[in-house]
Amino acid sequence: MTKDFLQQLGLREDNPGTFTGQESSRSDHYISSYSPVDGELIGRVSLTTRAEYDAVIEKAQAAFLQWRTTPAPRRGELVRQYGLELRAHKEALGRLVSYEMGKSLQEGLGEVQEMIDICDFAVGLSRQLYGLTMQSERPDHRMYEQWHPLGVVGIISAFNFPVAVWSWNAMIALVCGDVIVWKPSEKVSLCAVACQHLMQKVLKANEVPEGVSVYYTHLTLPTNREL
């Protein structure tokens, strides 16, 4: 089978496993991903060091302070653009899901379609973050309800849904003003790297603060000296 979809998604033999939005880093330790379809090596993804993990969390915490003040419709516009990237790369990403996880191609394409659908839903939600306005017993006084972002939202996804589960949570969190930290299954790391590559384009085009959407692989085990 041809594997042009790997190049279309920006995947290489060795791939960085730590992203803080637009920037990436890699350690000297890698985890290999083999396809259950033909047993061949698809690529390698670097494991995240403790220092890289700390940097990811610090960037996310700092980005939240700015992202929460961004108007919700503008946050929705970012999600809309990500949906367009998914539409443009649906075939390639669906094939990757099938090849790395082992789903049928139709299931792989269907999972990407779920990502597109949740983007569309989240865009509409970005203009519907309503709050109640209530009458008060005090004269010349009104009460109203206002929703506030939570902060840094952690997302852990399993191997059998490599991309859809992340998007279900991530797109809603983003339009609500939260920043996201994704820890995917190490069995399908390349699916997560591909999703992050597509997100990088959107983040850069919109000059989004570093740390709004971040990703990291399994942490490397500490040495005895580090313990």
pLDDT in tens, 166-208: 999 999 999 999 999 999 999 999 999 999 999 999 999 999 9
Structure confidence by residue, pLDDT tens digits, 39-86 = 999 999 999 999 999 999 999 999 999 999 999 999 999 999 999 999
User: Is 36 part of any domain?
Assistant: no
For residue 1, what pLDDT band results from cuts at 50, 70 and 90? Answer: low
Domain count, the chain: 1
Residue 109 has a pLDDT of 97
Among 148, 145, 150, smallest CA distance to 132 is for 145
Structural domain that includes position 194: 17-22+46-128+147-216
Answer yes or no: is 95 within a domain: yes
Q: 217: pLDDT confidence band, cut at 50, 70 and 90?
A: confident
Structural domain includes residue 187: yes
82 lies in some domain: yes
201 vs 190: CA distance, rounded Å: 17
Nearest to 112 by CA among 85, 135, 79, 74: 85
List the CATH number of the domain containing 59: 3.40.605.10
Q: Determine the pLDDT at residue 221.
A: 54
Q: Distance between CA atoms of 173 and 116, rounded to whole angstroms? A: 15
Q: Cα–Cα distance between 87 and 26 in angstroms, integer? A: 29
Averaged pLDDT, 96-102: 97
101 located within any domain: yes
* Cβ–Cβ < 8 Å for 72, 126: yes
Flag whether 226 is in a domain: no
Q: Say how far apart CA 199 and CA 79 lie, in whole Å.
A: 9
Residue 6 Cα to chain centre, angstroms = 18
Tokens standing for residue 104: 């049928």
Q: Report whether pLDDT(225) > 70.
A: no
Percent of the chain as helix, strand, coil, to the nearest 5: 45, 15, 35
**Per the domain annotation, does 105 fall within a domain?**
yes
| 220 confidence band (pLDDT: 50, 70, 90) | low
Residue partners of 121: CB distance under 8 A and separation at least 6: 171
pLDDT of 127:
95
Question: pTM of the full predicted structure?
Answer: 0.91
The answer to whether position 51 is within a domain reads: yes
Walk across the sheet containing 18-19 and list its strands. 24-25, 18-19, 213-216, 179-183, 152-156
Instruction: Report pLDDT for 142.
Output: 87
Question: How far is CA 123 from its chain centroid?
Answer: 16
111-162: pLDDT as tens digits: 999 999 999 999 999 999 998 998 899 998 989 888 899 999 999 999 999 9
